[in-house]
């Protein structure tokens, strides 16, 4: 049990470090993509100025080798925009992935907790069923009624089990001797509780 707890702690530590690294990397990628926007804009302005200078030098013709100079100058800009977009998208994904991973971990924890609770209840029910096999019919009736309503009043229990006052008293005394129930007096009435947690 101790080894599994240590292993669980190591896994949690590793996941938290990994999440922190993803978050840092996401922020760095977004910052880089924002920083690349400025040189791209400067590059575009310089290319436009250079293209305009070539047009003035050639007497106003924008066609060179069968293509307009302006069209030829746009390809590096498109490539730069695509790289910036991909870098920013990756950064945003890493930031969002960190949040979605935490959400997924919370859901997993809830599922594990629910499964553990279900398993405990199932084990208790199995133990209770096993216990009932060792009891006689009247004791079974009483135990099942007390399990359905822990802290049931003795008078209500008598009605539910359809036992006489005397018979119920004898059965309750036997179950108390077997350490399965406890009778708690409250005023003039007795309340019956299961002693073992079922």
pLDDT, tens digit, for every residue of 141-190? 989 888 888 888 888 888 888 989 899 889 889 988 888 888 888 888 88
Same domain, 105 and 153: no
For tokens 């990397």, the residue is 25
Give a yes or no: residue 180 inside a domain: yes
Structural domain including 170 reads 137-194
- Which two tokens mark 25? 């990397």
Same domain, 117 and 156: no
CATH number at residue 178: 1.10.10.10
Phi, psi dihedrals of residue 134, rounded to the nearest 5° = -90, 0
- Which two tokens mark 129? 């069923």
Pairing assessment for the beta strands 189-194 and 67-68 based on DSSP bridges: unpaired
2-47 per-position pLDDT tens digit: 555 565 666 666 555 555 677 788 888 888 888 888 888 888 888 7
Q: Count of H helices and E strands in the chain?
A: 5, 5
Same domain, 87 and 162: no
For residue 195, pLDDT over 60 is answered with yes
Same domain, 11 and 107: yes
Same domain, 25 and 118: yes
CA distance 65 to 86: 32
Same domain, 81 and 118: yes
C-alpha of 125 from chain center: 28
CA distance 198 to 59: 98
CA distance 24 to 197: 49
Same domain, 79 and 109: yes
Give a yes or no: residue 132 inside a domain: no
Give a yes or no: residue 127 inside a domain: no
Give a yes or no: residue 19 inside a domain: yes
CA distance 146 to 138: 12
Give a yes or no: residue 130 inside a domain: no
Q: What 3-state class would DSSP assign to 58?
A: coil
Same domain, 152 and 104: no
Phi, psi dihedrals of residue 195, rounded to the nearest 5° = -85, -40
pLDDT at 120: 81
């Amino acid at each position: 049990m101790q080894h599994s707890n240590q292993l669980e702690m190591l896994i949690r530590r590793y996941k938290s470090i990994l999440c922190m690294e993803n978050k840092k990397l996401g922020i760095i990628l977004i910052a880089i993509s924002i920083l690349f926007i400025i040189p791209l804009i400067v590059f575009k302005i310089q290319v436009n100025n250079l293209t305009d200078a070539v047009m003035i030098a050639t007497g106003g013709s924008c066609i060179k080798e069968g293509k307009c100079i302006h069209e030829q100058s746009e390809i590096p800009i498109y490539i730069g925009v695509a790289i910036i977009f991909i870098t920013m998208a990756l950064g945003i994904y890493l930031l969002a992935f960190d949040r979605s991973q935490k959400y997924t971990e919370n859901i997993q924890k809830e599922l594990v907790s629910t499964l553990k609770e279900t398993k405990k209840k199932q084990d208790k029910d199995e133990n209770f069923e096993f216990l009932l096999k060792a009891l006689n019919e009247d004791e079974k009736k009483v135990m099942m009624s007390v399990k359905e309503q822990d802290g049931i009043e003795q008078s209500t229990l008598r009605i539910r089990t359809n036992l006489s006052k005397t018979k119920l008293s004898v059965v309750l005394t036997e179950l108390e001797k077997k350490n399965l129930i406890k009778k708690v007096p409250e005023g003039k009435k007795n309340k019956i509780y299961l002693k073992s947690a079922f």
